[in-house]
Chains A and B, each alone.
Chain A
Amino acid sequence: MGKKLIIMKNITKRFGDNLVLDDFNLYINENEFITLLGPSGCGKTTCLRILGGFETADEGTVEFDSKIINNLEPNQREINTCFQKYALFPHLNVFDNIAFGLKIKKLDKATIHTRVMDILKMVKLTGFEHRAISTLSGGQQQRVAIARALINRPKVLLLDEPLAALDLKLRQEMQYELKEMQRELGITFVYVTHDQEEALTMSDTIVVMDHGKILQIGTPEDIYNEPNSRFVANFIGESNIIPGKMKEDYLVEFFNKEFECVDKGFKKDEAVDVIIRPEDIDFVPPSKAKIVGTVDSLIFRGVHYEINVMIEGKEITIHTTKYRKIGDKVGLSVEPNNIHIIKHIKTCVD
């Protein structure tokens, strides 16, 4: 990974009384695919708009290529945006939409033509150059929007939930293609989404946000396997969060049983939350298991069954390919490295 291309320092942004970004700090590397992930209203779009120049931060600085760009207009930034609902120009055809930025730069006709044709090929829309925008499908419009931004060869491409309006199949296809484009072009992508699966699939780095603050920054693997809070654990995939107690380093107690784990650094007998992913729990014969419960409900999900098991009045969700009937007694086991311990934070929502 290259040098730091963008540095956002102590960014604060309010809309009226609403604090949208709260002392926000983030750096973005060159050639990185970074995703801002969080629920709606967490400030991720505002963050993107500050980078694009459509909002100004109330406090803090935005550095781009070692220059402070707080007061630069959007048209002076080497950053292009792929807007959420595409924002294609309805009065221009596909060619003129894509050529817009190059015509502003007053490049000569032949160059514009070559570059538009090249990028049309890249987004697989060759032959569409004379089509009106209104005759394109959602997926095709999406491609035009990406082409229109990328043709300017920006250093950074901002993408604001660009796939939100597409159906599942198309979305997965586009995720793959976007990642490919980013790798080939070597452009930094800053991607905003509330879809955790999208974030995990495409990103080099995921920034999980809530209420204008960054909760965790890391690779998709880090974020998924080592969530640092209940919020992250719940937001990224499904999680079982079980109250427990830290007996000593590498030993945790929950469901009144002691388990080996890989975490340390807690006080003796400190109350903690134990996070276990549904797919990390295995069925074993009840006689060989530390924890035993009864199958409470069962849903077929295609690849796996989603089975809820009742243990001492608490429901645990398990994703497994093994079938169990409702009412079956089952033993459960978990590998030590699949037990994640985080500090217990009192919340009103369990």
Chain B
Amino acid sequence: MRRLRPYAVPYLLWMGLFILIPTIILIILGFTNLELYNIGVFDITLVNFSIFVQDQVVNALWNSLSYSFVTTLICFVIGYPVAYYLSTLSEKKRKILLAMMIVPLWSNMLLRIIAWEKIFTPTSIIADIFGISLDLLGTPTGVLIGMIAMYLPFMIFPIFSVLEKMDYKLIEAAKDLGASDLQTFVKVTFPLSSGGVVSGVIMTMLPAMTSFVLPARIGLGKINLIGNIIESKFMKEVLGSSGASINQGAIISLLLMVFSVISFVLITRVDKEGETLI
């Protein structure tokens, strides 16, 4: 296997170039007053943290947390029973249902967002055919439905993969020992699937928290998540307007990165073999 090592070098270089170096740049930007058009002269400073008291940013942070929380909660409530149902099906039926969930995921996310955008327009094809006229663009409900539709599979898959591997004899054992169906679920099935639930929650909550195309398109820019703020900070800088906005964008990005790393550590704690990460 040693001989295969050199073939890993290109991607390792790639990782260095596009993951490690940008991270270092973000850290430098976030903790200095370095300006994009005046590299070389800068001071180390914590002044960029002041962005976290701006109303706009506090609001976006709150939106990110609350929208991702509600999305995750609803995804869990809808997703767990689906995952459970899937795990009880025969292999053939299960494959069909899984394909119905996975194949749409292979289409570009932006396309799916635009599709929802069209559905939420009062003059959509649904209005034409079924006479149901939805007017959800720019509303919290619209953004939430979009997010749930987008991230639900990421809740279902990890839970399903844990439930599928669970030994059915354990459920029989619980019933044998006198447990009702509900008691069996509460005392055996659910605790044993908790690893999948943690993975599912993180894999739903993180992308939901950081999403920005979806709130921009379906929320019509009225509902800003933290991703939208980061985008606007960096775009402004590129457009050459406000002074320290790239540094502020960097410090917010670093905050999200901290969330991601914590989540990763959490997942690896509950799932040592990585089996729920599909």
Select from chain A the residue with minimum beta-carbon distance to B192: A91
Which chain A positions have C-beta within 8 A of B175? 53, 73-75
Q: Mark A79-91, 1 if CB is under 8 A from B, else 0.
A: 1110111011111
Interface centre among B169, B176, B180 (most CB of A within 10 A): B176
Check B192–A81 contact: CB distance below 8 A. Answer: no
A83 with B169: CB separation less than 8 A: yes
Stretch at the interface among B100-108, B143-151, B183-191: B183-191
Task: Return the CB mask of A42-63 against B: 1 if under 8 Å, else 0.
Answer: 0000000000111000000000
Tell whether B96 is near chain A: CB-to-CB under 8 Å. Answer: no
Q: A83-B169, A100-B187 are in contact. Are A90 and B192 (CB under 8 A)?
A: yes
Indicate if B173 sits at the interface (CB-CB under 8 A): yes
CB distance from A141 to the nearest CB of B (A): 13
User: Which residue of A83, A84, A90, A100 has the most chain B CB atoms within 10 A of its CB atom?
Assistant: A100
Inter-chain CA distance A152–B178, complex, in Å, is: 9
Chain A residues 14 to 33 lying within 8 A of chain B, measured CB to CB, are none
Residues of chain A within 8 A of B176, CB atoms compared: 52-54, 74-75, 79-81, 149
Interface size of B by CB at 8 A reads 17
**A104 x B188 contact (CB < 8 A):** no
Query: Size of chain A's interface in residues, with CB distance under 8 A?
Result: 24
Determine how close the nearest CB of chain B comes to the CB of A175; give it in whole angstroms. 23
| Inter-chain contacts of A52 with B (CB < 8 A) | 172, 176
- For the complex, give the distance between the alpha carbons of A84 and B173 in Å: 11
Across-interface contacts of B178 in A (CB, < 8 A): 75, 101, 104-105, 152
Residue numbers in A under 8 Å from B187 (CB-CB): 100, 104
Decide if B169 touches A87 in the complex (CB within 8 Å): yes
B188 x A89 contact (CB < 8 A): yes
Q: Quick one: CB contact mask for B181-204 with A, threshold 8 Å, 1 for yes? A: 001000110011000000000000
Is the C-beta of B128 less than 8 angstroms from some C-beta in chain A? no
Give the shortest distance, in Å, between A149 (CB) and chain B (any CB): 8
A156, chain B: closest CB distance, angstroms = 12
Q: Which of A75, A80, A87, A91 meets B179, CB within 8 Å? A: A75
Given known A75-B176, A100-B187, A104-B177, contact A87–B167 (CB-CB < 8 A): yes
Binary CB contact string for chain A from 191 to 213 against chain B (1 if under 8 A, 0 otherwise): 00000000000000000000000
The answer on a CB contact under 8 Å between A75 and B169 is: no
State how many angstroms separate the Cβ of B174 from the closest Cβ of chain A: 7
| Interchain nearest-CB distance for A260 vs B (Å) | 53
A105 vs B177: C-alpha distance in the bound complex, in angstroms? 9
Across the interface, which residues of A come within 8 angstroms of B192, CB to CB?
89-91
Q: Report which of B167, B177, B188, B191 forms a contact with A101, defined as CB distance below 8 A.
A: B177
Q: Which of B173, B180, B188, B191 touches A83 (beta carbons < 8 Å)?
A: B173
What are 30 A-B pairs with beta-carbon distances under 8 A? A52-B172, A52-B176, A53-B176, A54-B172, A54-B176, A75-B175, A75-B176, A75-B179, A75-B180, A79-B176, A80-B177, A81-B173, A81-B176, A83-B169, A84-B169, A87-B172, A89-B188, A89-B192, A90-B170, A90-B192, A91-B191, A100-B174, A100-B179, A100-B187, A101-B177, A101-B178, A104-B183, A104-B187, A105-B178, A149-B177
Given contacts A85-B169, A89-B188, A90-B170, 4 further A-B contacts (CB under 8 A): A83-B172, A84-B169, A91-B192, A104-B178
